[in-house]
Amino acid sequence: MMAVVKANSKDIQLLGRLLRAEAEGEGDLGMLMVGNVGINRVRGNCLDFKNIRSIPNMIYQSPGGFEAVQKPYFYQRAREKYTRLARRSVNGERQHPASNALWYFRPVGDCPPTWWNQNRTGRYKAHCFYAPNPQDCPSVY
């Protein structure tokens, strides 16, 4: 597979650290879904993610980035397992319900049908996923 966004080895390491910090408890599939959302944000160039053109831009976006960057374990070196998952995300592997999603969050209860006016695409374990309307962000479809 070819990369769908530009990424060097440092970017892959960074994304691997994000996947672990955001979704280690969700297993490989959950971490891949976090990767889908991140890569979609880089590809999208739409809505809250205009001018987010690289993996570091996406991860450290403020406001709108990821809570994990505020936690100490985000700053631990990425193990090979996580960099392998990151590379799969960069290579365009998509998993439903995160395939076209730009957002996810972990609610206390059920997933609301919309979140910030975006439609729910589904839930995987603790995370709810939300995708933009295709006309608002065609590049993630």
Domain coordinates in residue numbering, the chain = 9-140
Give, as one character, the DSSP assignment of residue 139. Answer: G
- Residue 65 is predicted with a pLDDT of 86
∠ Cα 65 70 74 (to 5°): 95
Give the mean pLDDT of 1-24.
94
- Residue 63 is predicted with a pLDDT of 86
pLDDT digits (tens, 9 = 90+) for 18-28: 999 999 999 99
Give the mean pLDDT of 70-83.
92
Whether the predicted model's global pTM rises above the 0.85 cut: yes
Superfamily of domain 9-140: Cell wall hydrolase SleB, domain 1 (1.10.10.2520)
- Residue 1 is predicted with a pLDDT of 67
Q: Which H helix or E strand runs over 123?
A: strand 118-124
Residue with tokens 């889908």: 36
pLDDT digits (tens, 9 = 90+) for 86-104: 999 999 999 999 999 999 9
